[in-house]
Amino acid sequence: MRSKVKDLLGMEAGREVLAKGWVRTKRPSKEVAFIALNDGSTIKNIQVVVDRSGELAELLPKISTGTCIAVRGTLVESVGSGQAVEIKASGIEIYGECDPVRYPLQKKDTSLEYLRTVAHLRPRTNTFGAVYRLRSQMAFAIHEYFHSKGFVYLNTPLITASDAEGAGQMFQVTTLDLGNVPKDKKGGPDYSKDFFGRQTSLTVSGQLEGELGATALGEIYTFGPTFRAENSNTPRHLAEFWMIEPEMAFYDIKDNMDLAEDFIKSLVRYALEHCREDIDFLCQRYDNTLVERLEGVIATDFVRLGYTEGIEILKAAVAAGHQFEYPVEWGIDLQSEHERYLVEQHFGKPVILTDYPKDIKAFYMKQNEDGKTVRAMDILFPKIGEIIGGSEREADLAKLEKRIDELKMSRRGLEWYLDTRRFGSCPHSGFGLGFERLLLFVTGMQNIRDVIPFPRTPKNAEF
Amino acid sequence: MRSKVKDLLGMEAGREVLAKGWVRTKRPSKEVAFIALNDGSTIKNIQVVVDRSGELAELLPKISTGTCIAVRGTLVESVGSGQAVEIKASGIEIYGECDPVRYPLQKKDTSLEYLRTVAHLRPRTNTFGAVYRLRSQMAFAIHEYFHSKGFVYLNTPLITASDAEGAGQMFQVTTLDLGNVPKDKKGGPDYSKDFFGRQTSLTVSGQLEGELGATALGEIYTFGPTFRAENSNTPRHLAEFWMIEPEMAFYDIKDNMDLAEDFIKSLVRYALEHCREDIDFLCQRYDNTLVERLEGVIATDFVRLGYTEGIEILKAAVAAGHQFEYPVEWGIDLQSEHERYLVEQHFGKPVILTDYPKDIKAFYMKQNEDGKTVRAMDILFPKIGEIIGGSEREADLAKLEKRIDELKMSRRGLEWYLDTRRFGSCPHSGFGLGFERLLLFVTGMQNIRDVIPFPRTPKNAEF
């Protein structure tokens, strides 16, 4: 019966064991060879000791970094430092050899840039093993958080005929023959011949459909892939990423902020409690302030600040000599430099900024009585910037329709959405969390392409 | 402080409470009016009693099915049958009225067919409340199952340049202007100008990428949307559906079967333990053998049967006079009628069919020594047919390459996949479960469009 490395490392010496995994390193010494074996269950390896004078010795030349083997043996106390136990091998079976000359992970270049070019193999490295385990743990923490509160996990559609909030550029989805697109009477593409009989795209947000769920089931959340066809080649943008979008009936903006703050603190706490070995590794390797930053978020109350007050603080900074690249005045969409000033320099902790000018926010946000601002709330994080964006939603049909008209949007395509306000409208709120943004924060990685297994970016869709 | 209906129904009488929700029915009697209030937290309603001689009486004309209200009052013992407690209202706030004439759910027609035409409102019905809560619970059960076993949740890409197993027709993803597609030198679409610089599609399976994860992290699973651009207008097909695909290093076909059987039994057990009220409702309303069928699956050992023996049984049935529409002979891909005969008539329980002819299965399945069959395993369920399909994977690079050549597939596009066999290959296995197929089984619903909130089918992509 095979044991995973994670379990082996916690067992008492003396047992006969069977381990299976991939060789990380092989190191010969005078009388024995040491093999560090990893099976992905933990960042740690189990050390396998092979007697160089025994019959297993003849297998050693076939064993190198990347080789897949099964090892039988006795768990014994380890004399070396690092681990309590190791396996004294009595049998080895080689499942798959690994040519040291050709193996891409043999190369001296183990930079994150290089590993992106072999993304199909990078889960075999310590770094990506740690990141992907963390990603998995965080996904579970998210499901567990909402499940424990009675939220319904709602799968909103990926292929959509709605353009959501007009939030971003969309990918088209089609079965039309691009070499010979059928034309309609006006000479445009004849979408009536397309699979869905109309033009369809990949969703940029499940929020509007999420509101359909919340106004029936009470509290829902989505957690799924989301798309942006934006030509942004930055360390913070992906064409395909995962979003979590909770939507709650009977929550006002304050309830929404309370939930968002508690949610994100719970996730960070979960990471520290359940993924400590992987976080410690990443902290040590890439970012030695990581643990401190994570603990800081849990320990502190987030600042809650109106946009207007935020602008005042930024103006005061300018007056005091601080130089921003972009001008500061009421009505601007905050730039990253502004957000970072507030979070990192002025307050030194996460900030929830509320009540933004309506002209820089989406149509569905609840309008304040001042006629100028809406009940938006963005959570700004150190190093990451905006990690959560949300709002209380406009529940009043007439106000919502007026805003749609002002923005010259089409009401017709939104009738289904307006039905939520037409029939038994309720106060409700919600927010969106970019999963990869969260992972940047929790792992300390710098590039968003390194926290998703198969990143999709302009001109890049390998595998 | 608001309480959810689910919690209110379990509280002791005597408390002052605040409930918020939507009116399911209003029923006047002589001295009082009864309002059945639901907030989506449970299939049950809380009864609100309004004194018709008090000051709240003037609100009653504005309250009808679908109206959203907040109710303050005292929880009192209910004199009527059905529930232990009800709310004696002392205050009512109307959040949103609901015009009885226009409200689509007022119509007499509450058939599932009609409700599909108002899919944006159907979560407000008992049936879809139950189905979506069950869907959410099953999703959680799946994550919990794999998480507890140490599997890593791996997000495989939705937009892909790979065509997976050639399993199904694919949707194209593009940002090219369909009204004016740029041409390459040969006159075809110039994909170098497309967003990803190449032709891309929506995934039909995450398996091949999942194998990249398993051969590094040990045990992984995917759970996400999957697509088929097949023009199938049947109660069993969707263009967009959710799949669970676990993939495990060091599992042979037997381990794979053991896991799949245990997995599906755990899910059914979870449903019976955690969703009993919703299941009982669906059982009563749509399918009175539902609970019995669910309990049957848990209690029984699945039959494990070779394809060849399965064919013998079917041939014997034909010889004994049973008539099938399609002929039975070794080498056929089993039709639904054949699967149902084995499962429902011959064995009377779920069947795991193994060792299919290689010519009807995908290239990556492990080849048996007979040269004719592969280590495939399909789980066949009563009423549903195939609910799980999987196999042990071919770990031998030479055999895999030979098979790819035989099938005239392109090796070049699969080099990244072949690297898993080239470098430290390991025995491994996996399977796929269609989430909506599972939900058909667990809910007893007949049409797959009724177990996903926003079904996508040919000529249909509303919302």
Residue B301 CB-half CA count within 13 A: 4
pLDDT above 90 (res B308): yes
| pLDDT average, residue stretch B9-23 | 97
Sequence-ordered list of residues with C-beta below 8 angstroms from that of B158, at least 6 positions apart, any chain: A158, A202, A225, A227, A240, B202, B203, B224, B225
Query: Tens digit of pLDDT for each residue in B344-369?
Result: 999 999 999 999 999 999 999 999 99
Q: Which helix (H) or strand (E) holds B152?
A: strand B152-153
Residue type, A227: F
Residue A165: per-residue pLDDT: 53
- The model's confidence at residue B167, banded by pLDDT at 50, 70 and 90, is low
Q: Give the one of B21, B242, B461 whose C-beta lies nearest to A200's C-beta.
A: B461
Residue B440 CA to residue B387 CA, distance in Å, equals 10
Contact residues for B315 (Cβ-Cβ < 8 A; gap 6+): B328, B329
Please give the pLDDT value at position B386: 93
pLDDT, position B80: 75
**Which backbone phi and psi does A405 adopt, to 5 degrees?**
-65, -45
- On whether any CB of chain B is under 8 Å from the CB of A4, the answer is yes
CB contact under 8 A, B463 and A424: no
The pLDDT confidence band at residue B215, using thresholds 50, 70 and 90, is very high
Residue B164 pLDDT exceeds 70:
no
pLDDT 10s digits, B422-462? 999 999 999 999 999 999 999 999 999 999 999 999 999 98
Per-residue pLDDT at A162 = 79
From the list B209, B217, B420, the residue facing A129 with the nearest CB is B217
Chain A residues with CB under 8 Å of B423 CB are: 66, 96, 98-99, 102-105, 121
Tell me the average pLDDT across B283-289: 95
Which of the residues in chain A have pLDDT under 70? 81, 107, 163-168
pLDDT score for A299: 97
DSSP H stretches of helix in A350-414: 397-406
The set of residues, in sequence order, having a beta carbon less than 8 Å from that of B66 and lying 6+ positions away, is A423, A424, B22, B23, B98, B100, B103, B105, B106, B124
Give the pLDDT of residue A167: 57
At B106 the pLDDT is 80
Check B424 against A250: CB less than 8 A apart. Answer: no
Query: Are the Cβ atoms of B157 and A249 closer than 8 angstroms?
Result: no
- How far apart CA B62 and CA B81 sit, in angstroms, is 27
Q: Which of A39, A217, A427 sits opposite B40 (nearest CB)?
A: A217
**Residue A443 class from Cβ within 10 Å (0-12 exposed, 13-18 middle, 19+ buried)?**
buried
Interface contact A156, partner B, CB < 8 A: yes
- d(C-alpha A88, C-alpha B161), whole Å: 45
pLDDT score of A82: 76
CB-CB under 8 Å, A132 with B463: no
What CA–CA distance (Å, rounded) separates A391 from A377?
5
pLDDT value of position A163: 64
**Taking a contact as any Cβ pair under 8 Å apart, which residues of chain A between 376 and 405 contact chain B?**
395
- B133-163 pLDDT per residue, tens: 999 999 999 999 999 999 999 999 999 987 6
Strands (E), B61-135: 68-77, 85-96
Q: In this predicted structure, what is the pLDDT of residue A166? A: 57
DSSP string of A214-236? HHHHSEEEEEEEEE------STT
A53-60 CB contacts, 8 Å cutoff, 24+ apart: A56/A89, A56/A91, A56/A92, A57/A33, A59/A92, A59/A94, A60/A26, A60/A28, A60/A33
In chain A, which residue's Cα lies nearest the Cα of B150? Answer: A41
Q: Which residues of B touch A158 (CB under 8 A)?
A: 158, 202, 225, 227, 240
**Nearest chain B residue (CA) to A62:** B424
Cα torsion at A286, A288, A294, A297 (round to 10°)?
Answer: -120
Tens digits of residue pLDDT in A241-259: 999 999 999 999 999 999 9
pLDDT for the residue B162? 79
Structure tokens at B189: 């679409």
Q: Does the distance separating the beta carbons of A423 and B102 come in below 8 Å? A: yes
Copy the structure tokens of residue B155. Answer: 């997000």
How close is the nearest chain A Cα to the Cα of B384, in Å? 22
Centroid of chain to Cα B357 = 28
pLDDT of B292 strictly over 90: yes
Chain A 87-106, CB below 8 Å of chain B: which residues?
95-99, 102-105
What gap in Å lies between CA B154 and CA A133, rounded to an integer? 9
- Inter-residue contact B440 to B237 (CB < 8 Å): no
Answer whether B169 touches A (CB < 8 Å): yes
Give the pLDDT of residue A109. Answer: 77
Residue B166 pLDDT > 60 = no
d(CA B19, CA B4): 7
* Arithmetic mean of pLDDT, B329-355: 96
pLDDT > 70 in chain B, percent: 98
Question: What ipTM does this complex have?
Answer: 0.97
Find out whether A395 and A368 touch, Cβ atoms under 8 Å. Answer: no
By the CB < 8 Å criterion, does B366 face chain A?
no
CA A78 to chain centre: 38
**Strand-by-strand arrangement of the B200-202 sheet:** A159-160, A200-202, A172-174, B172-174, B200-202, B159-160
d(CA A352, CA A350): 7
* Distances B152 to A440, B220, B330 between C-alpha atoms, Å: 18, 4, 39
Q: What is the pLDDT of residues B62-88, one digit of tens each?
A: 999 999 999 999 999 998 767 899 999
**How many CB atoms are closer than 10 A to CB A77?**
11
Residues of B in contact with A239 (CB under 8 A): 159, 195-196
Burial (Cβ within 10 Å: 0-12, 13-18, ≥19) of residue A322: middle
